[in-house]
Amino acid sequence: MAEFTLELNDDQKQVRDWLHGFAADVIRPAASEWDEREETPWPVIQEAAKVGIYSLDFYAQQFFDPTGLGIPMAMEELFWGDAGIALSIVGTGLAAVGVLANGTEEQIGTWIPRMYGDASDVKVAAFCSSEPDAGSDVASMRTRAVYDEAKDEWVLNGTKTWATNGGIANVHVVVAVVDPQLGSKGHASFIVPPATPGLSQGQKFKKHGIRASHTAEVVLEDVRIPGHCLLGGKEKLDERLARARERAKSGGERVKNAAMATFEASRPAVGAMAVGTARAAYEVALDYAKTRSQFGRPIIDNQGVAFQLADMRTQIDAARLLVWRASWMASAGKPFTAAEGSMSKLYASETAKSVTAQAVQILGGNGFTREYPVERMHRDAAIYTIFEGTSEIQRLVIARTLSGMPIR
């Protein structure tokens, strides 16, 4: 087990600097254009694939970094460049995490490479969990998966929403209900292979922020997939459902569902994304405050501005420390006994909203225009307190973990 440290090693620093260079030279110059176009930035994803950033190998190397800091370090640098484009580059990772969290070794080896494609033929993947009536309330999920034993096929019906890369993905990972009597414990995850009949894109959303990232509904109408596309396999599912039924009868311990296993693993990474956006806005505001003069002096000479910047930097560093702690704990196999993963996502998300808002304020009228990037950063930051568990849900998770009580 790697010892916890606040100092990146030489290899990590080299990767960090490489990612920062890509973010500065490729992502940032394209950010405004793709935000305005509200389209997937395929040319930028292609460039990321060419240099090896958008690839299974790169994410595997960062994921298996023994310190746990590979993924959060990568997320911070890419999202420092631009949140919308970065989410288009890393959005496939959520589907990949879904397979890693719930799949067999064979499924991991088969499907994750197909999510990325290669530099000459880039692909993306989508993780489909939320529904029109079931976002935070996963127990209300209605998408059904019914097993056709005669054909060894699963039949999926329902509508998913807020799916990053939904409908344009090569591979969709879909969470569905297999036993409605068990509520959220009766869920399972499925791979929907490319060009499967019955899967279509529904509404594409026009969003407030992260507009370079494709977000849409995914409609499933009698989608038939082979039995081996059930993540984890039928035998493991049957065993898990049997245990859940027994626990339900006896009032025993709760069982985590497939979607929650994915979100729990990814929360510190989302926190790192928020840190990257916050840091970017802070740096713009700091440079502006040092060069913008009013009443014959730089505005940073005013305590009102200087103290804001001091608070912004303090919040960013605190958020990063929470993210790094949770990431190290996860890598070291330490349980989140105080919901440390949710803590990191909660604090970093709220920090991104606060810091970007203060950056707009420091730039004044300029901050409110699209001529300066803090306006876009402020819009982008709003998503962090919403997706992969709202801030309210994170607080609920933390409170329940600390108290052991079913707080409602």
- CA distances (Å), 212 to each of 84, 122, 386, in order? 5, 17, 17
Q: Are 56 and 64 in contact (CB under 8 A)?
A: no
φ/ψ of 251, rounded to 5, equals 70, 30
| Number of Cβ within a 10 Å radius of residue 338 | 11
- Give the list of residues 6+ apart from residue 198 with CB closer than 8 angstroms, or none: 156, 220, 221, 222, 223, 224
DSSP string, 135-178: SS-GGG---EEEEETTTTEEEEEEEEEEEETTTT-SEEEEEEES
φ/ψ of 9, rounded to 5, equals -80, 175
Strands (E) across 35-152 are located at: 117-118, 121-122, 125-128, 144-148
CA distance linking residue 350 with residue 382, whole number of Å: 9
| Number of Cβ within a 10 Å radius of residue 140 | 13
The tokens of 123 are what?
């692909």
φ/ψ of 205, rounded to 5, equals -85, 140
Examine the residue annotation and report whether 388 is marked as an active-site residue of this protein.
Answer: yes
Q: Are 327 and 68 in contact (CB under 8 A)?
A: yes
CA distance linking residue 174 with residue 190, whole number of Å: 5
φ/ψ of 389, rounded to 5, equals 100, 110
- Give the pairing type, strands 121-122 and 117-118: antiparallel
Nearest CA among 131, 127, 144, 141 for reference residue 222: 144
Catalytic residue among 77, 350, 375, 388: 388
**DSSP state, 118?**
E
- CA distances (Å), 280 to each of 46, 75, 126, 219, in order? 24, 13, 27, 36
What are the residue numbers of the active site?
Answer: 388
